[in-house]
């Protein structure tokens, strides 16, 4: 799961690095096996050949390349004391086993084989020089010869380590360059998709990167242009529908005024006003995705104060607790409408609206709390959906379009913010409308 969270560049580098490491591991195993075979040929075969001669010729003497004292140091001691035991030097057990098997394959098996370094001081320094091979043959006794030491593994390890570093550098550095180029184009594309709110004419993203990434960017530009045209056509259609509906509603209002029965006239006018209100809410929600007026720096604290004054002048109970000034670029009319819906809902159906404003360097949040019964946890998510009415949970006695919270959420989405609803621990509902300050 963590690997999936990484970016394109990191994933490519990890996959290629693992593949190179696996290839180098296989290469190391092959080279190491070949070196072992060379080691066998270098050390074991000469020792076996000399031991076979020594077994057939008791007078054979391998003088260790003419070194004087070889017989006195080894052969005479074997004759006097028996099998050799040189604890100060390292035994080459693997070579002993190889020599033992080769002698057995040659038809002259030995009862025991021991191999030590000839020069103890040189062996302690990492270069044993020559090795002394002891073999005890049945009915013949001990024979001793010298042979070359095995190839030290350290140069092999260093060579392979250096080779791995070179391969990684030659492969991963160009890959990093091209992967960053592709991921940078994708990051630009993702940022453009997040910024797009359906407002104004979309600025096309410049195609860059590999051919398939450029094709993706071109397709994204075309798709965004089509969406903008669809939104524009939708706005025109909604404007026409609103104009066509307002005219007969105004005519009905005029006709209702002429009704003589006062009670009937009041009921008809109330129904017409409700239709006008619902129509206005629907048009506002439908047009919210494409605000025509540009955002402008606005004092959100002053805006909240105006909304609270409007609510209190209309007979609602509301109070404000906000800092002196919080500036943010917003669509003033849209934010005022969203905050007004939250305050009206809290005051009408929660008893009293408490409005607060908190701000950080990047975000400003309107906080509206009431003293009502709140909303069931299962309905918190769907409460902001269009045409959802929670009369029982909010004690609503009058009808409504169910678009107040939906409009507030649409305003938050328009600015790239969020609307969060939650029940307060002490009771009541808490609505938090957060808007970015940049």
Q: What is the pLDDT along the chain (438 residues), one digit of tens a residue?
A: 566 666 667 777 788 888 888 888 888 888 777 777 777 777 888 888 888 887 887 666 555 444 445 545 555 555 445 555 555 556 788 888 888 998 888 888 888 888 877 665 555 555 556 788 888 888 877 787 888 877 665 566 677 778 888 888 888 888 888 787 778 888 888 888 877 766 556 678 888 877 888 888 889 888 888 887 887 777 777 777 777 777 787 777 787 777 777 888 788 887 887 777 777 766 766 666 555 567 788 888 898 889 888 888 888 888 888 777 888 888 888 888 888 888 888 888 777 888 888 888 888 899 988 887 777 777 777 776 666 666 544 443 444 556 777 788 888 887 888 888 888 887 788 889 999 987
What CATH code is carried by the domain that includes residue 264? 1.10.287
Do 284 and 306 lie in one domain? The reply is no
Do 82 and 98 lie in one domain? The reply is yes
Do 16 and 150 lie in one domain? The reply is yes
Do 205 and 108 lie in one domain? The reply is no
Which of 366, 391, 393, 396 shows the shortest CA–CA distance to 377?
Answer: 393
**pTM of the complete model:** 0.50
Give the Cα separation of 102 and 151 in Å (integer). 20
What CATH code is carried by the domain that includes residue 422? 3.30.565.10
The count of domains in the chain is: 3
pLDDT at 392 (0 to 100): 47
Residue 179 domain flag: no
Do 278 and 339 lie in one domain? The reply is no
**Cβ-contact 393, 375 below 8 angstroms:** yes
pLDDT at 191 (0 to 100): 83
Q: Which distant-in-sequence residues (6+ apart) come within 8 Å of 246 by Cβ? A: 276, 279
Choosing from 270, 292, 314, the residue where a domain stops is 292
pLDDT at 128 (0 to 100): 55
Do 101 and 8 lie in one domain? The reply is yes
Up-side HSE of residue 374: CA atoms within 13 Å toward CB? Answer: 14
Do 24 and 42 lie in one domain? The reply is yes
Do 230 and 346 lie in one domain? The reply is no
Residue 114 domain flag: yes
**Cβ-contact 199, 330 below 8 angstroms:** no
Do 98 and 117 lie in one domain? The reply is yes
Residue 165 domain flag: no
Residue 255 domain flag: yes
Choosing from 264, 292, 320, the residue where a domain stops is 292
pLDDT at 394 (0 to 100): 43
Do 56 and 126 lie in one domain? The reply is yes
Residue 186 domain flag: no
* Domain ranges, residue 401: 296-436
The CA R_g of the chain, rounded to the nearest whole Å, is: 45
Choosing from 228, 259, 292, the residue where a domain stops is 292
Q: Which distant-in-sequence residues (6+ apart) come within 8 Å of 268 by Cβ? A: 252, 256, 259
Residue 169 domain flag: no
pLDDT at 250 (0 to 100): 77
Do 318 and 250 lie in one domain? The reply is no
pLDDT at 65 (0 to 100): 47
Residue 60 domain flag: yes
Residue 161 domain flag: no
Residue 359 pairs in a beta bridge with 364
Do 233 and 312 lie in one domain? The reply is no
Sign of CA dihedral 106, 109, 110, 114: positive
């Amino acid at each position: 799961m963590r690997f999936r969270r990484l970016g394109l560049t990191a994933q490519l580098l990890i996959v290629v690095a693992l593949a190179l490491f696996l290839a180098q591991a296989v290469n190391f195993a092959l080279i190491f096996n070949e070196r072992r075979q060379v080691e066998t040929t270098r050390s074991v075969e000469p020792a076996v050949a000399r031991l076979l001669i020594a077994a057939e010729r008791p007078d054979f003497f391998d003088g260790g390349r003419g070194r004087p004292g070889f017989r006195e140091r080894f052969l005479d001691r074997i004759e006097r004391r028996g099998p050799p035991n040189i604890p100060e030097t390292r035994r080459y057990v693997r070579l002993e086993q190889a020599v033992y098997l080769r002698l057995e394959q040659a038809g002259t098996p030995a009862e025991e084989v021991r191999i030590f370094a000839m020069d103890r001081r040189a062996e302690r320094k990492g270069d044993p020089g020559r090795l002394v091979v002891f073999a005890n043959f049945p009915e013949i006794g001990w024979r001793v010869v010298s042979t070359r030491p095995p190839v030290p593994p350290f140069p092999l390890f260093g060579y392979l380590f250096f080779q791995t570093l070179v391969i990684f550098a030659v492969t991963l550095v160009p890959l990093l360059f091209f992967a960053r180029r592709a991921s940078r184009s994708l990051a630009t594309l993702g940022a453009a998709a997040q910024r797009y709110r359906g407002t104004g004419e979309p600025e096309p993203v410049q195609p860059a990167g590999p051919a398939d990434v450029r094709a993706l960017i071109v397709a994204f530009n075309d798709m965004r242009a089509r969406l903008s045209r669809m939104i524009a056509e939708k706005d025109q259609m909604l404007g026409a529908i609103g104009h066509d509906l307002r005219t007969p509603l105004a005519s009905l209002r005029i006709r209702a005024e002429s009704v003589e029965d006062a009670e009937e006239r009041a009921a008809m006018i109330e129904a017409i006003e409700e239709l006008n209100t619902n129509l206005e809410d629907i048009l506002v929600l439908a047009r919210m995705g494409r605000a025509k007026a540009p955002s402008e720096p606005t004092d959100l604290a002053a805006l909240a104060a105006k909304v609270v004054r409007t609510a209190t002048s209309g007979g609602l109970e509301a109070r404000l607790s906000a800092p002196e000034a919080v500036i943010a670029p917003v669509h003033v009319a849209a934010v005022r409408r969203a905050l007004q819906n939250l305050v009206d809902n809290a005051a009408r159906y929660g008893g009293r609206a408490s409005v607060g404003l908190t701000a950080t360097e990047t975000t400003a949040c309107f906080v509206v709390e009431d003293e009502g019964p709140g909303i069931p946890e299962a309905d918190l998510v769907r409460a902001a959906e269009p045409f959802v009415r929670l009369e029982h949970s909010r004690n609503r006695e009058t009808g409504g379009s169910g678009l107040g919270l939906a409009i507030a959420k649409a305003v938050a989405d328009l600015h790239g913010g969020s609307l969060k609803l939650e029940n307060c621990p002490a009771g009541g509902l808490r609505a938090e409308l957060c808007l970015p300050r940049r």
